[in-house]
């Protein structure tokens, strides 16, 4: 793999080692047959360049679909494969529609992960040798290490909020390995030969190793990629490097890139901003703004010995001011403060703040973050970035009972009280208490007031709590002026341990307070809370009573295992929040004619993210990538260099070509030197600029590049997992809108996002044995069976389920259908000609037409699970029914019917199982490639015939049940049918006809209930509701014909034409059909039997 070339002979070589042994175990012979065919087909595709597509002038419609390039620090797994199939399936479906389809693919190497992994490996080798002798190789040491990790995890879980518990406490890496002891050497051992591992200390070696393997694994999957257009990112590839430099120059030229101090999630260990793809935990987490409220420490007044350390600190720093600094999201509520809470077992420190010449009491974790943030403009809170002086340490107990001066509070003095639910991993570890509007605060204070013995355990005296009453500050309609008290009483919350109800109360009071609350106190009394809040915040900051403080919304860990903070750093950033830019993107995604999100939930996420995405740090000072053109101390980060690369695909085959992932200029098909890819060249290709006159690139080559781009753009579809909505996918919209601001017709036309994939209904985990690598899964099940199981896994934005049982079943089904089609497509003795067509011939033809139309609808809407239900499962059921009918009736199948069914099935399943289809296409004598064949032509579905088929099918099912329950002794059986409804049902049908107008009204069932109230009997009401509900569904399936008061087809004729089939299926020799409307024929039928028969619903009479 070192030369990044993948041999086209590889599949053939593999085939020579994969023979199908007739005596192979039952479990592998069919799989081996599928794999042998797949390798043969893949070799043919590669030899004949089947998936290569170029700009054309033949009038064909084009279709380009793309997929986010995977990160190249390992092998692709089934999660990649599942998401990937959505683009693969759609691309193949569009080929069948006759379009010129392009599906390109590349590999992402930008950013921190590879560099961090290389650095970690280097450290392991330096510390433990080659091969490394890790401490945990000793079982006793390993046991202790695992115990320590388990204890740390338990402690973390104990401190976690309910939300973080729900998400799980493990990092990505621990979740994947199943153990907290993670060594880079051991990770690589699973993927590369051990003797080669030391070379991976060089980050660039990863770029030479994994991408070519990715190419080969994708080929094994039958992905249908135009590999001429494949590449890797970073400066290693000079062509892509030039493209990214041009992109950023254009963005800079348009004023989209700015410089200044900004708050971003930051790793102190790495010394730079930590973006989503640089994280092992916390993807999608951004900075959260808090307000630090400064509660001044007063002289202790209760003579408690635990305050001696604070007294000493006050003697030295009282003039400067010592402050408790709780972090709050609600500065407008400070008028209602009654006390301050700390965690009795918590660890706190007194930290000197250089910018204000004051001392802040807070947790070490929050002090670390504050030391990286600005006090004002360019002045940091501390003299040295990331360093803060700790003057003293305290336990939470040593802070309890201290008197404080709280800004804006109505009480001159409040006290520090215990709160056992404080998390030291959120905020500063200190909580200011506003019991009027915070249910947790109210219950905690009430507990201390109502239970003096509990308070005494913490040496809290009655005067510290009893005199502090709830202070009303915000009026909320329906909740009064103390919403926390109202909600606690409403929900009957009895203690601070009633977490679920307290969470409900908190969510409701906070939301109502902000949206509907009116201030009762302070200078903004009478104003809405939402209006007053920013004013109060700004005034408190200006008065020196508060400061802004930021931390990640939840825990973030870098790939170097550093828990990140939020830092204010000089940074190049993309100003995504710029109003006109945001509005342009929003207008695009809200226009259904221009943009298709395929899912209402996804659409809502795009709309939210467009507003939420404000400023994005787009550069780093460490990691792989492209250097910022005008400031080369910065490297463009991994999400920012991957927003318009879909446009690069359109010309990559001219610049780089096949087997040239890293952009070796000597292999350039267009003979292009990367140094000649100037901004003027790219502006000509991608924008409306004139052809550069001084370019060394041949004009005809430049013209070809421009033609390719203009032909393939805009991108018709991009497929991705849903976790890229908050970053990459939305950023791609913004960047397209910026680069092509004068050509909105070139912006993306559609995004499809899927959920994550489970394996056998469980999250993938090596410890559970269900962590599946893509290529291993292909070897185990075959590519087509793996793809089939991916299609069956699900299509919504919710999590899907890859079932190994489904993959196994697919193996059997594919092989069995291969055999059946091969044996029956052109078997001798079949009927032919229209004159020999019987009822069931017409039914199968009609159901084939229905399946073709429905499968097309599903595939075009990215509903592949439903698509294989229509185009595979239902097709097999229809064929099975037809085969049984012919066998039981003693007649041959019809050649034209069978041919149409076989040809349709082979192509309809081709997007999912193309290797199987390719083989069958040739076996039935077709020329050309199955993947290039036209989608089967479907005649208009005959809805009446569909209804007749359903009539026979449903009644046969009912009659089977009747036979099973029949008493012995009968000598004859009769199928009873009737064309006449009783008057009560005719009335219902007439009412339904009256209500129907190209559909029923939304409240039809409610109207029906009202109509039924006039009926005389309860039993009749129930029967009427059931009949109307059944008929309504029939109307939705076959149209208004289902409401006719007489059936539009001859039930008796259908039953009689199928009598041999019915006799065989029911195992009854003496069977006839009686029409109750024929008085002579039905004279002997008892009345109790007649009552059971209605039009469309036959009944079997044993007599």
267, two tokens: 């790793």
User: φ, ψ for residue 418 (rounded to 5)?
Assistant: -85, 140
- Other C-beta atoms closer than 10 Å to the C-beta of 620 total 28
* Contact status, residue 719 vs residue 66, Cβ threshold 8 Å: yes
HEC string for 402-422? CEEECCCCCCCCEEEEECCCC
Among the listed residues 384, 342, 382, 334, the one whose alpha carbon sits nearest the alpha carbon of residue 363: 342
* Contact status, residue 852 vs residue 936, Cβ threshold 8 Å: yes
344, two tokens: 């009795």
Angstrom distance (rounded) from CA 925 to CA 825: 10
3-class secondary structure, 477:
coil
Q: Write down the pLDDT at residue 156.
A: 59
Angstrom distance (rounded) from CA 899 to CA 906: 11
Which residues are CB-contacts of 125 (< 8 A; sequence separation ≥ 6)? 132, 185, 198, 201
The β-bridge partners of 801 are 758
- Other C-beta atoms closer than 10 Å to the C-beta of 411 total 17
DSSP 552-591: ESS--EETTSPBPEEEEEEEEEE-TT-HHHHHHHHHHHH-
* Contact status, residue 343 vs residue 420, Cβ threshold 8 Å: yes
Low-confidence ranges of the chain (pLDDT < 50): 1-25, 160-179
- Other C-beta atoms closer than 10 Å to the C-beta of 511 total 11
End-to-end CA distance of the chain: 78
The number of angstroms, rounded, from the C-alpha of 394 to the middle of its chain's C-alpha atoms is 45
3-class secondary structure, 620:
strand
Among the listed residues 173, 283, 110, 287, the one whose alpha carbon sits nearest the alpha carbon of residue 727: 283
Tracing tokens 């630090």 back to the chain, one arrives at: 292
* Cα 128–Cα 114–Cα 242 angle in degrees, nearest 5: 145
Q: Where are the alpha helices (DSSP H) in 97-138?
A: 112-128
967, two tokens: 């008493």
Angstrom distance (rounded) from CA 933 to CA 447: 75
What are the contacts of 638-641 at 24+ separation with CB within 8 A? 638/108, 638/110, 638/111, 638/112, 638/275, 638/277, 638/278, 639/275, 639/276, 639/277, 639/727, 639/728, 639/731, 640/574, 640/616, 640/731, 641/110, 641/233, 641/244
184, two tokens: 């880079």
* Contact status, residue 914 vs residue 92, Cβ threshold 8 Å: yes
* Contact status, residue 44 vs residue 8, Cβ threshold 8 Å: no
HEC string for 936-969? CCCCCCCHHHHHHHHHHHHHHHHHHHHHHHCCCC
Percent of the chain as helix, strand, coil, to the nearest 5: 50, 15, 35
Task: Tell me the pLDDT tens digit for each residue of 461-481.
Answer: 999 999 999 999 999 999 999
Q: At what angle do helices 600-612 and 730-739 cross, to 10 degrees?
A: 60
3-class secondary structure, 323:
strand
Q: Write down the pLDDT at residue 1035.
A: 87
* Contact status, residue 912 vs residue 787, Cβ threshold 8 Å: yes
DSSP 329-392: S-GGGGGG--EEEE-TT-EEEEEEETTTTEEEEE-HHHHHHHTTSEEETTEESSSSTT--EEEE
Q: Where are the alpha helices (DSSP H) in 178-259?
A: 184-189, 203-220, 238-253
Q: Write down the pLDDT at residue 155.
A: 63
Q: Write down the pLDDT at residue 1021.
A: 83
* Contact status, residue 1101 vs residue 1089, Cβ threshold 8 Å: yes
């Amino acid at each position: 793999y070192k030369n990044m070339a993948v041999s086209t002979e590889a599949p053939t070589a593999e085939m020579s080692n994969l023979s199908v042994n007739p005596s192979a175990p039952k479990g592998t012979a069919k799989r081996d047959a599928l794999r042998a065919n797949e390798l043969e087909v893949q070799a043919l595709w590669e030899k004949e360049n089947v998936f290569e597509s170029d700009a054309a002038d033949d009038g064909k419609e084009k279709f380009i679909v793309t997929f986010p390039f995977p990160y190249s620090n390992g092998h692709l797994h089934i999660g990649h494969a599942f998401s990937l199939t959505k683009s693969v399936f759609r691309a193949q479906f569009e080929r069948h529609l006759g379009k010129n389809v392009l599906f390109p693919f590349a590999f992402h190497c930008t950013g921190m992960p590879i560099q961090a992994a290389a650095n970690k490996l280097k450290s392991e080798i330096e510390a433990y040798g080659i091969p490394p002798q890790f401490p945990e190789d000793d079982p006793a040491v390993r046991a202790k290490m695992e115990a320590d990790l388990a204890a740390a995890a338990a402690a973390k879980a104990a401190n976690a909020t309910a939300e973080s518990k729900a998400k799980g406490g493990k990092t990505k890496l621990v979740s994947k390995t199943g153990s907290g002891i993670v060594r880079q050497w051991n990770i690589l051992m699973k993927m590369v030969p051990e003797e080669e591992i030391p070379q991976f200390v060089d980050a660039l070696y990863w770029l030479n190793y994994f991408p070519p393997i990715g190419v080969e694994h994708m080929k094994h999957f039958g992905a249908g990629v135009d590999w001429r257009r494949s590449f890797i990112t970073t400066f290693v590839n000079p062509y892509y490097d030039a493209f990214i430099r041009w992109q950023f120059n254009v963005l800079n030229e348009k004023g989209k890139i700015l410089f200044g101090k900004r708050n971003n999630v930051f790793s102190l260990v790495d010394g730079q901003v930590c973006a989503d793809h640089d994280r092992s935990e916390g993807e999608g987490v951004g900075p959260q703004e808090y307000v630090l409220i400064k509660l001044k420490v007063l002289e202790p007044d209760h003579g408690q010995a635990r305050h001696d350390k604070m007294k000493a600190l006050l003697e030295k720093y009282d003039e400067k001011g010592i402050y408790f600094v709780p972090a709050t999201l609600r500065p407008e509520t400070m008028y209602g403060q009654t006390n301050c809470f700390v965690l009795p077992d918590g660890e706190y420190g007194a930290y000197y703040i250089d910018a204000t010449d004051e001392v802040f009491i807070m947790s070490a974790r929050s002090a670390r973050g504050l030391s990286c943030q600005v006090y004002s403009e360019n002045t940091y809170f501390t003299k040295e970035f990331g360093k803060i002086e700790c003057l003293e340490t305290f336990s939470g107990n040593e802070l309890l009972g201290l008197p404080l001066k709280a800004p804006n509070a109505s009480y001159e003095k409040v006290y520090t009280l215990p709160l056992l639910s404080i998390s030291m991993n959120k905020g500063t570890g200190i909580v200011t208490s506003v019991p009027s509007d915070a249910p947790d605060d109210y219950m905690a204070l009430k507990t201390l007031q109502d239970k003096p013995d509990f308070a005494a355990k913490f040496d809290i005296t009655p005067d510290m709590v009893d005199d502090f009453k709830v202070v009303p500050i915000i009026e909320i309609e329906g909740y009064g002026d103390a919403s926390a008290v109202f909600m606690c009483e409403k929900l009957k919350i009895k203690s601070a341990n009633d977490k679920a109800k307290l969470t409900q109360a908190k969510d409701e009071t906070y939301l109502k307070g902000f949206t509907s609350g009116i201030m009762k106190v302070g200078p903004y009394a009478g104003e809405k809370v939402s209006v007053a809040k920013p004013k109060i915040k700004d005034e408190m900051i200006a008065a020196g009573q508060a400061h802004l403080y930021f931390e990640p919304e939840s825990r973030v860990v870098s790939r170097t295992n550093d828990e990140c903070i939020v830092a204010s750093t000089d940074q190049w950033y993309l100003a995504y929040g710029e109003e006109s830019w945001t509005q342009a993107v929003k207008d695009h995604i809200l226009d259904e004619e221009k943009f298709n999100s395929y899912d209402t939930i996804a659409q809502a996420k795009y709309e939210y993210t467009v507003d939420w995405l404000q400023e994005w740090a787009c550069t780093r000072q460490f990691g792989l990538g492209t250097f910022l053109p005008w400031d080369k101390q910065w490297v463009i980060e991994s999400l920012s260099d991957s927003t318009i690369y879909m446009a690069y695909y359109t010309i990559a085959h001219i610049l780089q070509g096949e087997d040239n992932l890293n952009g070796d200029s000597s292999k350039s098909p267009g003979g292009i030197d990367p140094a000649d890819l100037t901004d003027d060249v790219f502006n000509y290709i991608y924008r409306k600029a004139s052809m550069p006159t001084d370019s060394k690139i041949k004009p005809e080559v430049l013209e070809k590049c421009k033609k390719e781009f203009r032909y393939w753009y805009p991108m018709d579809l991009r497929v991705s997992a849903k976790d890229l909505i908050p970053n990459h996918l939305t950023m791609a919209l913004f960047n397209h809108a910026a680069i092509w601001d004068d050509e909105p017709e070139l912006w993306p036309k559609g995004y499809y996002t899927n959920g994550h994939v489970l394996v056998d209904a469980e999250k993938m985990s090596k410890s559970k044995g269900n962590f599946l690598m893509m290529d291993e899964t292909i070897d185990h099940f075959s590519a087509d069976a793996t793809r089939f199981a991916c299609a069956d896994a699900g299509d919504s934005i919710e999590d899907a389920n890859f079932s190994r049982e489904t993959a196994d079943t697919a193996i059997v089904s594919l092989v069995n259908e291969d055999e059946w089609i091969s044996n029956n497509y052109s078997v001798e003795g079949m009927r032919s000609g229209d004159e020999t067509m019987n009822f069931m011939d017409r039914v199968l033809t009609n159901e084939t037409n229905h399946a073709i139309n429905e499968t097309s609808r599903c595939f075009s809407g990215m509903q592949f699970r439903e698509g294989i239900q229509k185009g595979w499962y239902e097709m097999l059921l229809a064929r099975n029914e037809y085969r049984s009918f012919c066998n039981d009736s003693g007649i041959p199948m019809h050649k034209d019917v069978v041919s149409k069914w076989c040809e349709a099935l082979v192509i309809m399943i081709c997007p999912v199982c193309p290797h199987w289809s390719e083989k069958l296409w040739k076996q039935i004598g077709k020329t050309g490639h199955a993947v290039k064949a036209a989608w089967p032509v479907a005649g208009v579905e005959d809805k009446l015939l569909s209804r007749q088929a359903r009539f026979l099918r449903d009644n046969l099912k009912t009659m089977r049940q009747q036979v099973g329950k029949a008493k012995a002794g009968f000598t004859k059986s009769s199928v009873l049918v009737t064309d006449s409804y009783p008057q009560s049902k005719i009335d219902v049908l007439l009412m339904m006809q009256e209500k129907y107008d190209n559909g029923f009204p939304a409240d039809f069932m409610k109207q029906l209930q009202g109509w039924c109230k006039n009926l005389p009997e309860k039993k009749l009401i129930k029967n009427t509701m059931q009949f109307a509900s059944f008929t309504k569904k029939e109307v939705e399936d076959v149209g208004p014909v289902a409401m006719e008061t007489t059936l539009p087809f001859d039930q008796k004729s259908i039953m009689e034409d199928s009598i041999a089939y019915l006799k065989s299926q029911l195992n009854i020799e003496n069977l006839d059909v009686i029409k109750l409307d024929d008085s002579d024929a039905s004279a002997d039928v008892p009345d109790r039997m007649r009552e059971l028969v209605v039009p469309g619903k036959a009944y079997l009479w044993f007599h």
